[in-house]
Structure 1
């Protein structure tokens, strides 16, 4: 953050130099017999000062963008969690690992939804309790969100699975609905 402040303060200083033109003020106070820079040299100095100020503004904005990309804000995590909730409801799902529930699926959806907003390795989805409540948090966001998932057996049936002995069966699929609430579960 210090780099960003330094860049903008330096840019402001060069803007003052370009706008006020302290060289012109200095040379006007000297006697006419002294060698004064030409008007072209003073204009070039001002243009150069504007250019240097622009470089520092660009550097400060780039550093700020890198800082923003390196961490999550609370609103970005909430938007990604709500998008993941919509993604869960889009198509039927099979039951996952009983100890994990839908946590890995939710984490993948949150990561996909939040692409470009923060680093994906800083997202955490943890199952809260034995039900289908999941706590979604991210480093730097400062807050957590609770996603409650309800499952209902899908009307589409399930996935057909042929057996090795000639029998067949099906793996049931579930329609999921999810809500996202502020705070931990």
Structure 2
């Protein structure tokens, strides 16, 4: 995209230079190439200059639009910093419930939770930040109750380390659908997450 933008700016400059060439010089060049050609009126040069300038303006506008599109597709360090801080606040203190038969099962820190971290970062990126390009890679052997993620994004030079710790916070009693009486009572394990983040690698 950058190469195309540079080409458009260079082309715009050449078009402006062409529009600035004097009519007498063009007439002399034309006469040297084809002496029998009819002479061009001044109005033709005016129209030609307007067309050349309009083409130059179009090239500049398209070039700046290309730069804007390129910027929208990349994360800046400030955007990623703000997004990670927002995601950390959203995830810290969050909770989830396990299944009634799974007991104290390990969290899916390599799969489901990593995707959740990426989604939260994207959601907290703000209106100008891209909606893709965030990666939350596990950087330590995953335990049943703790994980660390190295968070990066396309275009940003800064990386972040996010610590996640899951705590078993007891059980919640609910009613199984379609049942009644004592058999309907089901206990689901409740887990809370303590999340923190810092700038730099883990």
Q: TM-score, with normalisation over the residues of structure 1?
A: 0.71
SS of structure 2 residue aligned to 1:106: helix
SS of structure 2 residue aligned to 1:104: helix
In the alignment, is the contact (CA less than 8 A) between 2:27 and 2:39 conserved in 1? no
In the alignment, is the contact (CA less than 8 A) between 1:72 and 1:138 conserved in 2? yes
Aligned residue number for residue 169 of structure 1 = 187
In the alignment, is the contact (CA less than 8 A) between 1:159 and 1:173 conserved in 2? no
**Who wins on radius of gyration, i.e. which is larger?**
2
Aligned residue number for residue 184 of structure 1 = 201
How many residue pairs are counted as aligned between the two chains? 175
How far, CA to CA, are the matches of 2:73 and 2:172 in structure 1?
Answer: 41
Which among 88, 92, 97 is matched to residue 91 of structure 2? 88
In the alignment, is the contact (CA less than 8 A) between 1:80 and 1:111 conserved in 2? yes
Which among 143, 149, 152 is matched to residue 134 of structure 1? 149
Which stretch has the larger CA shift, 94-103 or 138-147? Answer: 94-103
Does residue 16 in structure 1 map to residue 25 in structure 2? no
How far, CA to CA, are the matches of 1:110 and 1:42 in structure 2?
Answer: 57
- 1:117 positional shift: 2.7
Which among 162, 167, 181 is matched to residue 147 of structure 1? 162
- 1:94 positional shift: 1.5
SS of structure 1 residue aligned to 2:196: strand
CA RMSD of the aligned region, Å? Answer: 3.5
- 1:170 positional shift: 4.5
SS of structure 2 residue aligned to 1:22: coil
Gapped runs of 5+ residues in structure 2? Answer: 30-37, 99-105
- 1:9 positional shift: 1.0
Gapped runs of 5+ residues in structure 1? Answer: none
- 1:8 positional shift: 0.8
Per-residue CA deviation, residues 67-88 of structure 1 (Å, 9 max, x unaligned), is 3344333333223222212322
Aligned residue number for residue 54 of structure 1 = 57
Per-residue CA deviation, residues 57-110 of structure 1 (Å, 9 max, x unaligned), is 122123223333443333332232222123224x73226852417422211111
Which stretch has the larger CA shift, 167-176 or 80-89? Answer: 167-176
How far, CA to CA, are the matches of 1:166 and 1:153 in structure 2?
Answer: 23
How far, CA to CA, are the matches of 2:97 and 2:13 in structure 1?
Answer: 59
In the alignment, is the contact (CA less than 8 A) between 1:71 and 1:119 conserved in 2? no
Alignment of 1:65-76 (within 5 A): 65-76=68-79
Q: TM-score, with normalisation over the residues of structure 2?
A: 0.66
Per-residue CA deviation, residues 105-164 of structure 1 (Å, 9 max, x unaligned), is 2111112234763352x321123324343211124434421123466788xx97543256
